[in-house]
């Protein structure tokens, strides 16, 4: 099984990296970019086939460690 | 007094911290992160550096090191813990201090001297800082921007937990004097029980005049004063 976790900065947190990338896109001539947020993408390969058990485990891991709930949100997908 | 300075893989201000404490005439030793006991520690210092290469997030992996269990217990029991720079990051990740440290607002790594205004003498980390004295201390960080949500910031303020603001040489707190964009120009805080503190600047690098400033001593002297007072009470 493969888990895909996307970690993004919370809306309330200033994202200067995102802003810088947005500015750069504009300078490069890409129009209509309203906002950019830079996050993290993790791929975790797992043994077994029990998706629900994996989801529970990884939700806990994502909340405790893989993301910092003070400043980040995460999305978890298992396939 | 015995200071224990933690060492994680890629901590790099640990030796400076040991030296800083020794310069003040007190005892300091390094403690490898895999140790599970603090021994006879009177105070714990979590040093600066790039523990675990700042992988995932600064301090995110170090907070799960075996020694941190002992540090948490030590803090629970009222022991004095100070986190400097990466140490501050480790303590916020470990939940021993509220909030988080994120990338500097201007995305630059800042390696320079800053000025700090001390907001309160009512803490074991600031009691010996003369009223009105502006501390000149070096910083060296790329992720020192203090962030916390509105409620947490309000609580910090209400409980007098903000210990230091970035200011200019004249003590004026302003955005211009803030090197990293920290909310409310916060340079350092303590927990609600006032026994755990964290700050981004490096007092251990300002303990001897030859380094450009000896103002950092005042923070360690405050801790030592508290420890001595506790010892006197226990006697």
Interface check A62 vs B, CB under 8 A = no
ipTM of the complex: 0.91
Does the predicted TM-score (pTM) go above 0.90? yes
Instruction: Report the SS3 class of residue B8.
Output: coil
Interface check B158 vs A, CB under 8 A = no
Domains in chain A: boundaries: 2-78
- By the 10 Å C-beta count (0-12 exposed, 13-18 middle, 19+ buried), A17 is classed as middle
Chosen CATH of A2-78 out of 3.30.365.10, 3.40.50.720, 3.30.1280.10, 3.40.47.10: 3.30.1280.10
Known catalytic residue: B110? no
Which two three-digit tokens encode residue B129? 């800082």
How far apart, in whole angstroms, are the C-alpha atoms of residue B56 and residue A61?
13
What pLDDT, on a 0 to 100 scale, did the predictor assign at position B235?
84
Q: B2-234: what fold?
A: Rossmann fold (3.40.50)
Q: For residue B203, what are the contacts with CB-CB under 8 A and spacing of at least 6? A: B20, B84, B135, B137, B215, B216, B217, B218, B219, B220
Candidate list B58, B85, B190, B207, residue with the active-site label: B85
| Nearest chain B alpha carbon to A41 | B56
Domains in chain B: boundaries: 2-234
pLDDT tens for chain B, 235 residues long, are 999 999 999 999 999 999 999 999 999 999 999 999 999 999 999 999 999 999 999 999 999 999 999 999 999 999 999 999 999 999 999 999 999 999 999 999 999 999 999 999 999 999 999 999 999 999 999 999 999 999 999 999 999 999 999 999 999 999 999 999 999 999 999 999 999 999 999 999 999 999 999 999 999 999 999 999 999 999 8
Question: Please, how many CA atoms are within 13 Å of residue B172, restricted to the half-sphere of its CB?
Answer: 5
Cβ of A16 within 8 Å of Cβ of B149? The answer is no
Interface check B55 vs A, CB under 8 A = no
Interface check B173 vs A, CB under 8 A = no
What pLDDT, on a 0 to 100 scale, did the predictor assign at position B44?
98
What pLDDT, on a 0 to 100 scale, did the predictor assign at position B179?
98
């Amino acid at each position: 099984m493969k888990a895909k976790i996307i970690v993004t900065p919370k809306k309330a947190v200033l994202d200067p990296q995102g802003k810088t990338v947005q500015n750069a896109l504009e300078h490069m001539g890409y129009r209509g970019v309203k906002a950019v947020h830079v996050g993290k993408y993790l791929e975790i390969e797992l043994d077994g086939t029990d998706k629900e058990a994996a989801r529970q485990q990884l939700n806990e891991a994502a909340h405790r460690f893989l993301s910092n709930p003070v400043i980040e949100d995460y999305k978890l997908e298992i396939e | 007094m015995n200071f224990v300075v933690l060492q994680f893989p890629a901590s790099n201000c640990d030796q400076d911290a040991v030296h800083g404490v020794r310069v003040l005439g007190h005892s300091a030793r390094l403690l490898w992160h895999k140790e599970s006991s603090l021994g006879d520690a009177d105070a714990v210092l979590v040093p600066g550096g790039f523990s675990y290469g700042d992988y995932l997030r600064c301090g995110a992996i170090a907070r799960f090191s075996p020694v941190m269990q002992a540090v948490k217990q030590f803090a629970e029991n009222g022991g004095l813990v100070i986190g400097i720079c990466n140490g501050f990051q480790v303590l916020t990740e470990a939940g021993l201090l509220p909030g988080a440290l994120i990338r500097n607002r201007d995305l630059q790594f800042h390696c320079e001297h800053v000025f700090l205004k001390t907001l309160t003498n009512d803490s074991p980390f600031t009691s010996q800082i003369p009223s009105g004295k502006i501390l000149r201390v070096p910083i060296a960080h790329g992720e020192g921007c203090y962030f916390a949500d509105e409620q947490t910031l309000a609580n910090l303020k209400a409980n007098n937990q903000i210990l230091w603001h970035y200011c200019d040489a004249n003590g004026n707190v302003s955005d211009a004097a803030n090197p990293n964009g920290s909310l409310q120009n916060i340079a350092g805080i303590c927990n609600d029980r006032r026994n755990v503190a964290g700050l981004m600047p490096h007092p251990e690098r300002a303990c001897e005049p030859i380094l450009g400033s000896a103002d950092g001593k005042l923070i360690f002297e405050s801790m030592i004063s508290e420890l001595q007072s506790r010892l006197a009470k226990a006697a």
